[in-house]
Structure 1
């Protein structure tokens, strides 16, 4: 991959960035899942390689940007496996897989606290979803928790559209949007994810505004 991205390498590979190849990872994972469903071991080997290639690609991009390299990725997951299996690599005794899972979640929760990650009102949102389901769940969280929405979202327009929508018309609209994106050279997966994240950020900001004003007073 370093050769492909380097001088005299492949023009296509050189032009890519993390976002431009994000869809490739989703595609390759989908193809791998199909081989797992059918236990097609020969093709599973091939598809695992294709998924690994995506990991290598992103790691190479990160290395060029001065963030991390493939060795760091492998080392971190190795350390995580050791840290989360003290019953194998340490002196903890566990009797069954249920206890293992409970311990895993406890260690994971401690890691999050140690990392001092920023609390978010969207903390229950699944971390990795295709962009359409991601946007669906973002809005679901907003409605479920009665969160404010930012200026990027016109709730009246959404409600008016919903009143006229059924499964067929929804599919029709989504297909036309995907087709229009194809004609325009826009990646619909990336576009939907970016906009959903903007909505999340605006909702977060509006949710935290009263707290900030109360502290200031």
Structure 2
């Protein structure tokens, strides 16, 4: 079993900084005050993944890791939970969602794994009543659009074939990037806000998904079929 002395040293360093008599800035941070830094560090990590060197990737992974440790230490000091609780929960989650590795389920392809993952998530989160539950609305709009369109297919509002037909054919991501840039440029030239426009359309689509789910559930209840 591998040991992680450098990780232990980083944890100790953070605890010293946040201990009474430590760094005043570190001591006064809260979960809320750190959000801006978590967002910034996450975007910097994405940049490093997409176009950075290994040295930059190491640095940015470290910055995001430090944010995780920072939040866990704030909670530990308040007596709410610890870093060990975070690790325990994540281990249980990964083991539970990989029954094809840790249990007797079968998943021979990546698509099979996704199906198993979604089924396990339904069991773990029975309180979710919509395919939209759990989607963070603060996601970048294009990533949110991709997620919502996938959930629209999952809810049965549109079929996968319909989604494909609606797609504009592009050869590769370079061509797609140029098309997206042209759309934004056109919006700007016409005094329109592309970001707001896409988010408004996504809110409308999510409303349609929820209405479709409600109608489907009502129909199932009328004819005596299960709704899930």
**TM-score in terms of structure 2 length:** 0.53
Q: Deviations over 1:94-118 (max 9, x none)?
A: 22111111111111111111xx46x
Q: Which residue of 2 aligns with 1:126?
A: 135
Please give the residue correspondences for 1:1-217 in structure 2 after superposition, counting only pairs within 5 Å.
1-113=14-126, 116=127, 123-124=132-133, 126-127=135-136, 129=138, 167=188
**Deviation at residue 126 of structure 1 after TM alignment:** 2.5
Please say if residues 41 and 60 of structure 2, whose CA atoms lie closer than 8 Å, have aligned partners that are also in contact.
Answer: yes
Following the alignment from structure 2 to structure 1, what is the Cα–Cα distance between the partners of residues 83 and 60?
Answer: 19
Q: Which residue of 1 aligns with 2:162?
A: none
**What residue ranges of structure 2 are gaps of 5+ in the alignment?**
1-13, 146-186, 194-228
After superposition, the CA RMSD in angstroms is 2.9
Assess, with a 3 A threshold, how the Cα gap between structure 1 residues 89 and 124 changes in structure 2: closer, same or farther: closer
Following the alignment from structure 2 to structure 1, what is the Cα–Cα distance between the partners of residues 134 and 94?
Answer: 24
Aligned residues: 138
Where has structure 1 moved over 6 Å in runs of 4 or more? 168-171
**TM-score in terms of structure 1 length:** 0.56
Q: Which residue of 2 aligns with 1:203?
A: none
Question: SS of the counterpart of 2:27?
Answer: helix
Following the alignment from structure 2 to structure 1, what is the Cα–Cα distance between the partners of residues 125 and 39?
Answer: 26
Question: SS of the counterpart of 2:116?
Answer: helix
